[in-house]
Amino acid sequence: MSYKFSIGKLKLKQGGSTIKEIIPTTEISIDYKLSTTREYDASGSTIDEFKDEEQLTLSVSFASTDYEPSIIQGDLYDLVLETGVVGGGIAATITNCKLTGYNIKTSQDQFSITTITFSKVGPIDGSSITKQRVKFGSVYLGDSATVTPSFEGNIQPLIIPTALGVLIRATKDLGGGSLSIVVSGYVKKTTRIELEQHLISLFTALDTEANTLTVEYGGSSYTIANCYFQSGRPEAGKKNHTNFELVFLKSAF
């Protein structure tokens, strides 16, 4: 779904302060896309459909006489759309938009037509982003993290020579069974060397004794007691950010 108009005013704001005012605009384009996930029943009918990802982009073109490197930082801006002096356009505020493009398209005499593009960061309705975080003891595992558990039972199939099948000794009889808890995290630092130092410090700081995993999301949380740190591995790369996995084990009984 796209909406375009060419009369109006755009203000770029940070912390309530106006960084740049664009008036008049030659064209403002707002584009919205939504991807969903569907679940089907045995007959192939849709039984559920839910939002997977929203994308909102906005681009604006305007006449300019100079190049403005001060706003080309990939920063977040609040975009305030206002109607023109004689009306026209729309009035709206779109918060947390990242500058993703700056393009000088054409030039005529002393004027150039510049197009800047923004991408909405976070929920389209303007609500703030809530990150899920996980800590082991008192050590937080990255800027954000999620937990994926799996279970392995202690089951033994015993082959009896005179039997037609096998005798199964279940976890209930033998005891045991373990939970493998994979924490998938994300961390970002200013430089690559800071990231490397952080990961080394994180891996060495995790207690080799049993401790508690605490999963936090907003005002909600839950704990997983008596967990042991087994291994950790970041994804390969040379950037100043990375996704990583930490594996913890605990007895299921």
Q: 132-251 is classed in which CATH architecture?
A: Beta Barrel (2.40)
CATH fold of 2-120, please? Elongation Factor Tu (Ef-tu); domain 3 (2.40.30)
Spell out, as residue ranges, where the chain has pLDDT lower than 70: 1-3, 5-7, 74, 84-88, 107-109, 163
Secondary structure (DSSP) of 124-153: TT-PPP--EEEEETTEE-SSEEEEEEEEE-
The domain segmentation of the chain, as residue ranges, is 2-120, 132-251
The rounded distance, in Å, linking the Cα atoms of 88 and 172 is 72
Domains 2-120 and 132-251 share a fold: yes
List C-alpha distances in Å: 24 to 10, 21, 60, 92, 206: 8, 9, 10, 16, 56
Residue 208 has what pLDDT? 78
For the question of whether the overall pTM of this predicted structure is more than 0.75, the answer is: yes
Percent of the chain with pLDDT over 90: 51
